[in-house]
Amino acid sequence: MESIWKEKVDGVITQSGSSRLSLLPCLEAVQEECGYIPHEAVNYLRECLSIPSIDIYGMITFYSLLSTNQKGKYVIRLCNSLPCYLNGTENILDTLVDNLGIEPGQTTLDQRFTLELVPCLGLCDQSPAMVINGVVYGKLTAQLVTEVLDELRTY
């Protein structure tokens, strides 16, 4: 897997140049390939782009979709914005926590699910809402969440 992300990073650098402007596309390429950004990738980017590690980690921690922690097969991002909260995010979170046996920021032992509570998904018209691997689920109820999780468990 390492050689694949390196090839993608090298492709980004070839296309965009070896400047700070290439850092985010390189990080996205690694994240897409690995599901997270391993320490080895940070070292590789530091060498290729001549950017200090602290700056690379600063960018990773700034963008919530980037992570240095391995995530589950299904990453559940539950919106906790004011409209979602007022429409029941707390109940949906309780359903997810009970069903998965994990808290926000954790991954199930079988590496199937990661649960994240995010400040806003931009889905206020569908609140409460969550996104799982890019698929939007809106107007959530405890029953709908349970059905979605049960369906994902079959894959």
* Residue 120 assigned ligand-binding role: yes
**pLDDT for res 21:** 94
Considering the domain architecture, whether residues 148 and 77 belong to the same structural domain is answered as yes
For 94-145, write each residue's pLDDT tens digit.
999 999 999 999 999 999 999 999 999 999 999 999 999 999 999 999 999 9
Considering the domain architecture, whether residues 87 and 142 belong to the same structural domain is answered as yes
113: domain CATH number is 3.40.30.10
DSSP calls for 18-29: SSGGGHHHHHHH
Does the pLDDT value for residue 2 go beyond 80? Answer: no
* Residue 124 assigned ligand-binding role: yes
Residue 38 lies in domain: 1-68
Considering the domain architecture, whether residues 19 and 34 belong to the same structural domain is answered as yes
Rounded distance, CA 68 to CA 117, Å? 17
Any idea what DSSP says for residue 137?
Answer: E
Considering the domain architecture, whether residues 34 and 94 belong to the same structural domain is answered as no
- The whole-model pTM stands at 0.78
How does residue 1 score in pLDDT terms, banded at 50, 70 and 90? low
Give how many domains the chain has, as a whole number: 2
* Residue 26 assigned ligand-binding role: no
Considering the domain architecture, whether residues 31 and 90 belong to the same structural domain is answered as no
